[in-house]
Structure 1
Amino acid sequence: MLQEFGTLPNLKLSERQRLPECSAIYFAIARDQVLYVGLATNLRSRWQNHHRLPQLEAVNKRCEVKLFWLGCAQNQLNDLERQYIEYYCPTLNQTKVPERQIVPSFQMLTLSLKKLNERVLGFGVCPASDKHLKTLILGYLADYREIRLATTTLRKTLQAITRKPNSLFRWTEVVRRRDGAHWWTRCNGIEIRLIPWFEERIMHNPSMYEVMAEKRFGAWTSIPMPEYEAMRQEVRAMSFTERLELARSSGIGQKLFPLECGAQFFTVSGVEILCLTDHQLQTLLSKHSHLQEQYPTVCAIDSDPVPMLGF
């Protein structure tokens, strides 16, 4: 039996993509302890998605894990693996593989909307057809001054959700331009599209200063610096709901934020978000022909378009 691994080729666990394509007995070792012994007819392929990888990665965070291998003929693999397991008694060879708890796509979509609901507006729903799934259209609001920042922030949020290892849910960026990006995903037989929309939004602080100034002083005029700073602090401390209520009660607020002020709250994937009314949607379609061409069957949201399946 092997007493010394120093003569065997090895790589760090993080470098496993560089493993050779050969048949071999492999050893996962940390701090001179053999954690796992296995066999592979193709070593590189075996470690692309190894069932013990999550456990070894957890160990690797505390101490470095290395993969050693001993090349051998395929007809020797089974006997050698059994002998080395009996000899070293590796810990992971004697334990069951933990079951992977998959988070349902519905929950991941709900998480997405919770993180985005202060920026996202429900535009409408396109019914299913022979060629397309039922499609939910969501718009993320950003004016031209902040579109790049808004897109970057949104991208980071969606990438963080997509990278969660215990979920099959994915946001895919299908269009990437300087004037905004487009994403799509699918959940419970529904396609969800996220598109940019250039509009002042309630969570944009400078715009809300004008609304607060109208409430406090009757107009956006020259304001003493101490009072202006106090007003800014008050606006920044306001929640989305408080800002919406203030904007709806203000003439300038309704002019600055026509979509949000006129929209209504509906539940989408279990999350309350603002959705365009039928009148708002029809007005929008009449002003923007490209929307009508792209989504000819779109209609306003009046109930949760993403079904929650019970098991």
Structure 2
Amino acid sequence: MLALENFHVLSLPCMAIEDLAKLPETPCVYLVVNSQGKVLYVGKSENLRKRWKSHYKLSSLIEESGIRISYVEVQEDLLFKVERALINALNPPLNENEPSKGIASLRQRVGLTQRQLADLVGVTETTVRNWENNRSGVEWFERVAKLCDSLQCTPNDLFGYQKIAESEEKA
């Protein structure tokens, strides 16, 4: 585990933002560092190279000179914890400082990756990512929430999950 008291950003492996193709294809927590050595952003990925091919901050960061990506290779099940610890310790300005809400927050609270949640729910990791970024499928959740509000019930009530579980117990 990463010991924060001995943590020095400059001692980490790093790549210039122009050399992203050289990043490892392993689970990593990464830090976006400017030319003065200030950590601007902390994130995590199960495949660092793949993540940065389409990172949503890439176009804005590439315009700044001297930006590099430093990283720490981490076991996949520790990605969230290490990322959180670094965000809390370094307080990077590009990370949101307010608590997140919605699916991402709930998923992180129980310590699941997007892939793990996708496997549990029976959807793709891209679907979970889209839900978390309010891109696709969110309308369905909004309709279920409105139905529950209107009918004063839970989603389980709407779809009869409790009844199904009870009938399976009796069988």
Task: Give the TM-score normalised by structure 1.
Answer: 0.29
Could you tell me whether the CA contact under 8 Å between 2:29 and 2:44 is conserved in 1? Answer: yes
Structure with higher RCO (Cα < 8 A, 6+ apart): 2
Tell me which residue corresponds to 1:5: 9
Q: Secondary structure at the match of 2:15?
A: strand
Q: Which residue of 2 aligns with 1:22?
A: 26
Q: CA deviation at 1:57?
A: 1.4
Secondary structure of 2:43's aligned partner: strand
Aligned length: 93
Match of 1:48 in 2: 53
Separation in 2 of the partners of 1:77 and 1:91? 20
| Deviation sequence 1:93-137 (CA, Å, 0-9, x none) | 138xxxxxxxxxxxxxxxxxxxxxxxxxxxxxxxxxxxxxxxxxx
8 Å Cα contact 2:32-2:68 kept in structure 1: yes
Whole-angstrom CA distance in 1 between matches of 2:59 and 2:94 = 12
Q: Distance in 2 between matches of 1:55 and 1:16?
A: 15
Instruction: Kindly state the Cα deviation for residue 38 of structure 1 after the two structures are TM-superposed.
Output: 0.3
Amino acid at match of 2:7: Q
Following TM superposition, by how much is the alpha carbon of 1:91 offset from its aligned partner in structure 2, in angstroms?
Answer: 1.0
State the 1:47 CA deviation.
0.4
Separation of aligned partners in 1, 2:14 and 2:90: 18
Instruction: Tell me which amino acid in the other structure corresponds to 1:33.
Output: K
Alpha-carbon displacement from aligned partner over 1:275-298 (angstroms, at most 9, x marks no partner): xxxxxxxxxxxxxxxxxxxxxxxx
Structure-2 separation of matches of 1:7 and 1:36: 17
Q: 1:65 aligned to 2:67?
A: yes
- Report the secondary structure of 1:92's partner residue: coil
Structure 2 residue ranges without an equivalent (≥5)? 98-171
Q: Which aligned pairs between 1:116-265 and structure 2 lie closer than 5 A?
A: none
Displacement of 1:5 after TM fit? Answer: 2.2
Instruction: Report which of the two has the higher share of strand.
Output: 1
Matched with 1:166 is none
CA deviation digits over 1:154-198, x for unaligned, max 9? xxxxxxxxxxxxxxxxxxxxxxxxxxxxxxxxxxxxxxxxxxxxx
- Aligned CA RMSD, in angstroms, stands at 1.8
User: What SS does the corresponding residue of 1:67 show, helix, strand or coil?
Assistant: strand
- Give the TM-score, by structure 2 length: 0.51
1:59 is paired with a residue whose SS is coil
SS at match of 2:85: helix
User: What's the counterpart of residue 40 of structure 2?
Assistant: 35
Counterpart of 1:69, as a letter, is Y
Secondary structure (helix, strand or coil) at the match of 2:54 reads: coil
Supply the distance in 1 between the matched residues of 2:68 and 2:51 (Cα, whole angstroms): 15
More helix as a share of residues: 2
The secondary structure found in structure 2 opposite 1:93 is coil
